[in-house]
Amino acid sequence: MPNGPFRRPVTLLAALSLSRKSQTFPPAPAWVGAECTPGNSPQIEKWRTLGHFVQILRPPYQTAHIVFLATLTILGWAIFELNTSWLQAHVFHALSAQLTYEVKPGPSPRTVFPSSGPLDERRGYTRLPVILSSLQNKGFVIQAQAQPSPELTAITNLSIPPIYKGKTQSGLHILDGHGQVLFHHEEPNRIFPNFEMIPPILIQTLLFIENRELLDPCCPYANPALEWDRLGQAFLTQGIRLVKSDRSVPGGSTLATQLEKFQHSPGGQTSSFLEKVRQVTAASLRIYQDGPLTQDAQKRLIVDYMNSFPLGAYPRSGEIHGFGDGLWAWYHMDLSMFQKALADSDPASLEKMALAAATYKKGVSLLLALR
């Protein structure tokens, strides 16, 4: 072999003590490929130090060591992520920050419309393309329209419902030329305006039934769309059901994914594993819209759930959605009466305690109606 700058390629890493023939530093050379070259003592000492460190890893350096360290690192990060949700919080927030829209003059060059879902159908969102086309054929002109970002368009092409901050109520409000109300109606009619208006005992009961890890102060980055222990149990039981078909399977849904299912999934149901993935993805993007910290988002989630979960239908009332309208339809009790009865409970008064207990029982029956 001709001489060159690297005259001994087999022992190129000899200074790192990686020679297959020896686990100690060779007596010479001091500088690989340029023996006896003066003026390189700092570099030589650096490689010697690194060589001693590599020796601790038990030379010769093998692939198994890399695999072991990589596995240990991944396992440690997975445990950290399962307990904190730090990584997914920042990833989902970065993604959701790009899912925007802006109302601009004229028709939008690209539009985003939901394709299915009970809420989207009930409010007419899925029929918007037909309605707009019909109006344009009759001479109407679109003066302004929401223009979604390319990222928002891309996720809707993946059958994920559009991510935006929806309204709790929808309805019709008609004014005359003087600004006087001619007609006003909203659904649901009776709602909790904010988190503080929901009785604490009702919140505790809801979380005990549906989502016990919600509002945990130890996890400010927690993703309420994922509860790993429940999800794992659901998958395990689903596997058992493949063998024993008559076994019932508990749901792995959280409040966040239930909202997605009730509002945006076809038929309000989880028809497949892919649909569950869509629910979790959409719920996570909504949760992290305002930032990686989710404590306030979790409170809004509870308010949205209490104001919108489906309770079937009632004669002469039609579909019932939300705790307030359900309480009125089945028990003829207003939310203010419900709140007052629970707030006035006094252990010294048997009459007040009996009223509070009866009122609480009505509330629990509505929360259990979905079970």
pLDDT value at residue 112: 86
CB-CB contact of 320 with 310 (8 Å): yes
pLDDT value at residue 45: 60
Task: Count the neighbouring beta carbons within 10 Å of the beta carbon of residue 93.
Answer: 20
Low-confidence ranges of the chain (pLDDT < 50): 1-2, 4-25, 28-39, 56-57, 59
| pTM as predicted | 0.77
Residue 86: phi and psi, rounded to 5, are -65, -45
- Residues in contact with 161: Cβ distance below 8 Å, sequence separation at least 6, in sequence order: 114, 117, 120, 260, 263, 264, 278, 282
pLDDT value at residue 131: 94
pLDDT value at residue 344: 86
CB-CB contact of 290 with 296 (8 Å): yes
Where do the domains of the chain lie? Answer: 9-61, 101-148, 195-225+253-370
DSSP 189: S
pLDDT value at residue 82: 85
pLDDT value at residue 15: 42
How far is 157 from 347, CA to CA, in rounded Å?
Answer: 57
- Angle at which helices 295-308 and 255-264 pack, to 10 degrees? 50
| Angstrom distances, CA of residue 67 to CA of 32, 61, 62, 189 | 28, 12, 9, 60
pLDDT value at residue 25: 46
The strand pairing partners of 181, in sequence order, are 175
DSSP 214: T
pLDDT value at residue 17: 42
Quickly list DSSP for 269-306: S--SHHHHHHHHHHHHHHHTTT-S--HHHHHHHHHHHH
How far is 302 from 229, CA to CA, in rounded Å?
Answer: 21
* Coil vs helix vs strand at 104: strand
Question: Both tokens of residue 125?
Answer: 């969102």
Give the fold, CATH level 3, of 195-225+253-370: Penicillin binding protein transpeptidase fold (1.10.3810)
How far is 212 from 206, CA to CA, in rounded Å?
Answer: 9
